[in-house]
Amino acid sequence: MLDKLTFNLFSHYLTTRKNRDGEYLSKAGYGQIRSALKHLYRQCSEKFDDDYDRDLSQFMSGLKHRIALSRAASGRSLEQGKKGMTYEVYKAMCEILFKSDDDDYLFAHTFLTMEWNLLARSDNCFTMHVKHVEFKNDSLLFFFGKSKGNQLGEGSENPWHVYSNPHNPIICPVLSLGRYLLSNPDILKNGGMLFPGQHQYGRFMNVFHKVIRDNKNLFEDLGVKEGELGSHSSRKGAITLVSAGCTVSPPMAAICLRAGWSMGPVKDRYIHYEKAGDQFVGRCATGISSLSKEFAVSPVHFDFCDKPAGTKEKIDATIGNNFATIEEVEGKSFSLLKFLFASVCYHYAFLDTNLHPEHKLRTSPLFIAAADTSIQSCAVIRFPWEATASTPFFTGIPPHVIMLTELESLRLRLNQHKDDIISEFKNELNKRNLGGVEYQTSVLMNEVKKSNDEMLRC
């Protein structure tokens, strides 16, 4: 059968493949058809003829050239595929999803923030399992069994780090996950898929396009028209922000590894995953500028250093009585829950003000318990210059930000001891009578003596 599928027949078929408007498909569209042909040969255990492959490659080059000429002549967009989502569009969409009371919007907000911060393909997010999410040091850890670029699951023990952005709760992935799991407690209790159910991709895309359609003027002001963005747009936007959104960016190797891209056979063989590179990528994806000292912010956590004895036990009991005890869920899941609860407590006033009155989270017993101000006062963020024994270990901070934090620490110490320094300086001047009558008399006598000595020498 395959021997009848000649080059002439297949190349003619390619030229007939066009969109609804009669225009050429994208270069990637024709590339997918070519890949499907080669996959068909592999499935049939047939060798793809070298001459056929060479002729097809030459034909594809010509077809791509014709596509480029057609787009230039017609004035159509020269961009391939869906547009990348800018950081401003991402924030605008998150805000709309955040403030809605619709369960689908709650799901879509969590999914979008996860997809953005993980730099992940949508299928990776839909297959995430709650048991593969942990909290360690100052970040969430996500483990993936396989991906498009890693079909065999090699290196699946290497986590992807996701950091909080306590400065902007609308786009904070930690707060987003906390809202989602507190609103859907069975997901964490049962330990199943993070986004359970069938057709979750369609569910997300329906909400995604509805938001753009219902807020047409807003998104057009941000340079986006209906139909220009897709599920892949957030991944494009996040990778662009991380790699080119600042003059100081993470190593490109770390970005490629996080994105699941091949760097070529030699680089893939010699450049491997290391936590430091992925941690820097994770911090950059939060949107916090890596040119400021605030880049080194800790996640929200419970600090008991200056609290009465028994405060830690009180919070553990609050979580146990209103959600689940450490015996009812896995230890790492309880640690994750406690970490997420801290973020909810810290942002409680913001949530109470901005959540829709009918939002599902308001019925969560744990959210209701978070109204306790004695618990809220324990939820804090810290910077390296104010860290305490309860502060999580800081990770993913580049050297130039460490220098900024040390300068800030020095500035605070100087301000703290400014009065002491001035007082001590005055005491030293007074000991020497600097500026006093005795000092002036001494200066005059020395000048007279100096003049007399010069006269005598003459």
Instruction: Report how far apart, in Å, the C-alpha atoms of 136 and of each of 44, 112, 159 are.
Output: 47, 22, 11
According to the model, what pLDDT value does residue 435 have? 58
Is residue 61 within 8 A of residue 31, CB to CB? The reply is: no
Type of residue numbered 351: L
From first CA to last CA, the distance across the chain in angstroms is 124
Is residue 396 within 8 A of residue 280, CB to CB? The reply is: yes
DSSP for 77-108 reads: --S-SSPPPPHHHHHHHHHHHHH---HHHHHH
Is residue 129 within 8 A of residue 135, CB to CB? The reply is: no
Q: Is 33 exposed, middle or buried (0-12, 13-18, 19+ CB in 10 A)?
A: middle
Tens of pLDDT, residues 160-173: 999 999 999 999 99
Between residues 379 and 18, the one the model is more confident about: 379
According to the model, what pLDDT value does residue 436 have? 58
What percent of the chain is modeled with pLDDT above 90?
Answer: 55
Tens of pLDDT, residues 55-105: 888 888 888 888 778 777 766 655 555 789 999 999 999 999 999 999 999
> Domains in the chain and their CATH numbers?
2-74 (no CATH), 87-296 (1.10.443.10), 301-409 (no CATH), 417-457 (no CATH)
According to the model, what pLDDT value does residue 75 have? 63
Q: Which residue, among 308, 300, 301, has the nearest Cα to 374 in the 3D structure?
A: 308
Type of residue numbered 195: F
What percent of the chain is modeled with pLDDT above 70?
Answer: 91
Cα 207 to Cα 203: distance, rounded to the nearest angstrom: 7
> Range with the lowest mean pLDDT among 134-138, 247-251, 265-269, 417-421?
417-421
According to the model, what pLDDT value does residue 82 have? 75
Is residue 184 within 8 A of residue 82, CB to CB? The reply is: no
Tens of pLDDT, residues 208-251: 999 999 999 999 999 999 888 988 899 999 999 999 999 999 99
Query: Does residue 6 have a pLDDT over 90?
Result: no
Cα 241 to Cα 234: distance, rounded to the nearest angstrom: 10
**pLDDT range class, residue 274, cuts 50, 70, 90:** very high
Cα 238 to Cα 84: distance, rounded to the nearest angstrom: 9
**pLDDT range class, residue 329, cuts 50, 70, 90:** confident
What the block records as the tokens of 341 is 């609860």
Cα 84 to Cα 42: distance, rounded to the nearest angstrom: 34
According to the model, what pLDDT value does residue 146 have? 64
Query: Does residue 420 have a pLDDT over 90?
Result: no
Q: Which residues of 148-179 are buried (b: 16+ CB within 10 A; e: fewer)?
A: eeeeeeeeeeebbbbbbbbeebbbbbbbbbbb
Phi (first) and psi of residue 133, to 5 degrees: -120, 130
Tens of pLDDT, residues 35-49: 888 888 888 888 888
Cα 248 to Cα 269: distance, rounded to the nearest angstrom: 26
For 210, the 3-state DSSP assignment is helix
Between residues 442 and 244, the one the model is more confident about: 244
Query: Does residue 336 have a pLDDT over 70?
Result: yes
Which residue has 């498009």 as its token pair? 148
According to the model, what pLDDT value does residue 171 have? 97
